Homo-oligomer: A and B are copies of this chain.
């Protein structure tokens, strides 16, 4: 689950990113409205957290622009207590929800869940590749042998592979999205998890394999 956070106040931004990552989201942080637009045009996100007061381009304008462009990504607006009137404006402009600062981490997470749940009825709650299905709701993976559970990190690695089947995903991308930028883990751990996953995929007779591409990354390939 990939989120974009647009919040100019650095300390708050860092705190929110920490909360999100602790809860198995991966988040990109940007610090003004124009950056937010840039990122939203290129990357595909499952949700956006958008502060209203931002340099260069305010949150409402960002929201209007992306909605005008037909982008239906769920948006959670952040407003300071003083700008409560803005909430109406935000919702009218196509925000899915709003949250007034300060807020508790629990409320933030609950609203993100509600927002991403209600939206599009989680079309990609289930990923498929070969004879494998991965269920993001129950954290289960099913193969012809039956369904089984993976450790947290194993699951996330497989999720990334299955979300982009046949694409080569750079090793650093795994590090960034699963371990985070500020992790001091060695690149080695990715290799270790690929090893674990390969063993399990074989044990459960999956007809997909994890292929290493030298100097590039990994990809999931069928029938091998």
Contact = CB atoms under 8 A, between A and B. Distances in A.
A133 B138 CA distance: 25
A217 B141 CA distance: 16
A172 B215 contact: no
Interface of A: 24, 41-44, 97, 104, 106-107, 109-111, 113-114, 118, 137-139, 149, 151-152, 167-168, 172, 175-176, 181-182, 213-216
A181 B42 contact: no
B216 A104 contact: no
Nearest to A151: B214
The 3 closest A-B pairs by CB, nearest first: A152-B215, A139-B216, A42-B114
B106 A175 contact: yes
Contacts of A42: 110-111, 114
A107 B35 CA distance: 14
A216 B36 CA distance: 31
